[in-house]
Structure 1
């Protein structure tokens, strides 16, 4: 059976950056709204409701992991208190990755270029060696750990000693997942034709690659069946079976930041629209036909920047009759001219149907507003940094997250990243609110592997 929407979890007010679904009844999510939420499945069916809202401070939350119950915490540690049971202090920059073993050993990754291993909530090992931020961590067991970094490498550690380095990604490594009986999978900010997921043996052999995402791949997980699931900046969660994409789940949001799997095979995603969604292959957990149709219409109503699906000439496109021919593989995109409107439709091999994924905007012949350094932008602001010094140019596209443009601006001008919130406020003040359909030149990752947000765990 194909995966279809099972539940929509609404409580966050900003991007859902991380998720964890350790049991069929529990989902953990972390958001830029500075909260982590524990969602419990309703006894009445597949729906989830917020059980607890945890606030670790006033800054963004980027990572979340699950520590199983222990004798001193038989119900786990996700119940709200004024003060945390433990605070793990040691990182000097934002913590952007977490993972824990069944016994409670924790590994964390940070912008400070290190990973740290914590046991009994005390620092056990410092894993030093990466040249840039550590974006992904994975505990293989109590003594072996994998780390992925913005320096494009993955490293295997035995306790605090580095055993192996895996080279192959062309940009920052963003996600790691254990693949039983093989090794592990990794994803990165590789994009375009090289937007690959790589599956490795622990010995360093590349077993195979998975290609299909059209922009950054942010997150990976593995289903109980062994199938790999991935999420990225192209609005999709993709399901990979036997090395091929078996289904694409398109979201009505710009970024699908995180994906995780439940023991029962359901899939959990978290997006830039602040919503956590659950998808199931079990028909008894699907939402009603009316809700499923409403979701499909929401996806279809989005406007897509042309660079996501390729530039086109409207007059050269076929009409709706082209949808009578089946697609060749999941993810194939057809564009057609429907009474003057350019529509994008994607083939779903799981259901043998074409699904409209949006109206294409910014096709050939449409004008752009600003040109800067050979690229077109919706806005190019003059920013006065210092009296007597010429203003700096801040290019911005409406489809970008403001933090992405702010980070790029600060880095390109060698300015301290402590100004990022001020730059974001400047952008938000000077641009009108836009939806996903606003024009943009290119996808820009707010997490480029260098410093960026002022987030903490």
Structure 2
């Protein structure tokens, strides 16, 4: 029997992001309306009714799982994770506002949860970690992924699977990563155990993969046409998946046996019941139950209403592929049966293009919507493992690789601008220009939850626009880079939104209308020679730098193949002391450093540079840049300066063949090396030894100027500038 609608659960007011259905009579749902609901099967009527509405957070609740009954909780526990970074645990036997336990440790959105029958909880977060909690206390911190952990699965009490936006899956034995599975081409979003085989994974690459725990790929399931967000497994072993293409799909023996189309674009979550029913949670805020048991099917009237909603949907063109209306057949083409479940056929019915899907259970084509031209962005943009409404390319200077500016339309533009400037070591004096740029290039975007707008439960950002009148794309003339003033961005749509009202240009801190009228970007200042001032490279986000360095170190430490490269305990101590010194030095007001840096601290940097992989050296080289600028006399020990810069040149692969374009890690490392030299000359470090600058410039001369990027050329010119000015006589300065 095919799956048909069994029940519709309507109580959430926004996207249903996560589900759990541990028994035939209990469904747990989490939503971006800041609630989690436990639904109990009704005894006096068909379907389910809310039995407990939990409010674990004032922000979006993005993950949920269940712990079976125990002496402390006769009805079990519900566990929730949300944007507030906290994992909350509620006993279901009594309704209350406050959780029984709050598990604190994550630093960003908790987007994935799973639990064992014995109550061990596994959580995954945007902070790139997963955590294992036993007896509601942190037992293991799983660090090694390079981007957000979007999927977690407890294999047993000691083994855990994690899936990440870095496209990998890791198997952990307690706190050690014992295997890494590579194969997906995009972020891994869901995991599920497959009895007697291993496990299944789904991804933004639109594929589902079934693996053995040994790492063998058993088979790949292809059929979804967009992101696949969630997986579950039926009691008979069939796989259930839900994704961005409005569908839930049932898979048996490597083939799709049924496609259940939904009247909503995003099927964020799927879950299965012991009786074989399937539960889905969607971007329209509704939980739906589907069953193969005829006695649990909804009434004929409800089934007809559901089919009409599906048929009445307007599909974006990119959901069903590129089409040319003049080449489409008429309705008579629907007399030819489909080849397999889920086949989509488009026909021209007068001036309307209809999409129909083959339903093998009924042996007929079912209308799933009318095809319209796509509006807005094709899909959310991924940047460093997270989803954003926009990821802008920002030109700092002509010829220099663009920097990435991620932004969600619900963000405070000042916060986004400040984060962008700090991450890219740019002066905060640019913050107003970047804010104007954000406001200008996102003008006309409407956000909300009504109509056809769907809101991403991770970020709260509107992904879909309600009409072609508001595409979310600024007019071509509005896309002006905040640094160069160039019109880099061209609208891909013929329609253009109206300008944001002047009231939108309000200071986010005071509420004052600081920016009125059009948020125009001033024309770039003309460069005039001679240059009388040059760049400085002493800006630093010490905390972020330290976090990144430790993240890389823990990644090396947790992999058996790279554990020998990780820092030794004495090196960790020395590096942390350097960070403590720098943090106190640049504090406002400056603090008296609690440690004195010595040659041993520099030796620790040299040793780490000599072992770490090229792609992970940049925070160590960046640390060298700041150390040279703020504590130059630490290099005064005989021979230390030579060995230090020799290590930096080697770490940046300076002597390797120069073939354009250089790999991105090498490009970054070379830029940081040049900036370290700038700081050294700025502080006159090493200039007492007349031979040392000669050796440096001999090394610099090896690089063909044409291969350097514009940013590297600026840094190289600044090295020369600083050297010339630093060798001029000047009053001695205290150190």
The reply to whether TM is greater than 0.5 is yes
1:129 corresponding residue in structure 2: 144
CA distance in 1, matches of 2:179, 2:134: 23
Residue 421 of structure 1: which of 411, 419, 426 is its match?
411
2:245 corresponding residue in structure 1: 234
Structure 1 residues 429 and 7: CA distance shift in structure 2, 3 A: farther
Query: RMSD value over aligned CA atoms?
Result: 2.6
Q: Point out which structure has higher relative CO (alpha carbons under 8 A, 6+ apart).
A: 1
CA distance in 2, matches of 1:5, 1:186: 26
CA distance in 1, matches of 2:180, 2:188: 13
CA drift at 1:413: 6.3
1:55-454 equivalences in 2 (<5 Å): 55-76=55-76, 77-78=91-92, 79-190=94-205, 195-362=206-373, 378=376, 406=389, 408=391, 414=404, 420-422=410-412, 430-431=445-446, 435=452, 438=467
1:381 corresponding residue in structure 2: none
Unpaired runs of 5+ residues, structure 1, are: 364-376, 379-395, 443-457
Structure 1 residues 405 and 150: CA distance shift in structure 2, 3 A: closer
> Does the aligned pair in 1 maintain the 2:17–2:269 contact within 8 Å?
yes
CA drift at 1:80: 2.9
Number of residue-to-residue matches in the alignment:
406
CA distance in 2, matches of 1:410, 1:93: 25
CA distance in 2, matches of 1:244, 1:418: 38
> Does the aligned pair in 1 maintain the 2:391–2:404 contact within 8 Å?
no
Structure 1 residues 320 and 417: CA distance shift in structure 2, 3 A: closer
CA distance in 1, matches of 2:351, 2:71: 65
CA distance in 2, matches of 1:223, 1:316: 41
CA drift at 1:206: 0.2
CA distance in 2, matches of 1:419, 1:347: 38
CA distance in 1, matches of 2:361, 2:55: 40
> Does the aligned pair in 2 maintain the 1:302–1:359 contact within 8 Å?
yes
Q: Considering fraction of residues, name the structure with more helix.
A: 2
Unpaired runs of 5+ residues, structure 2, are: 77-90, 395-401, 417-437, 454-465, 474-735
TM-score when scaled to structure 1? Answer: 0.84
Give the greater-gyration-radius structure (CA): 2
SS in 2 for 1:157: strand
CA drift at 1:298: 0.4
CA drift at 1:48: 0.4
CA drift at 1:201: 0.3
Structure 1 residues 400 and 196: CA distance shift in structure 2, 3 A: closer
Which range is displaced more, 415-424 or 237-246? 415-424
TM-score when scaled to structure 2? Answer: 0.53
CA distance in 2, matches of 1:169, 1:430: 33
> Does the aligned pair in 1 maintain the 2:388–2:408 contact within 8 Å?
no
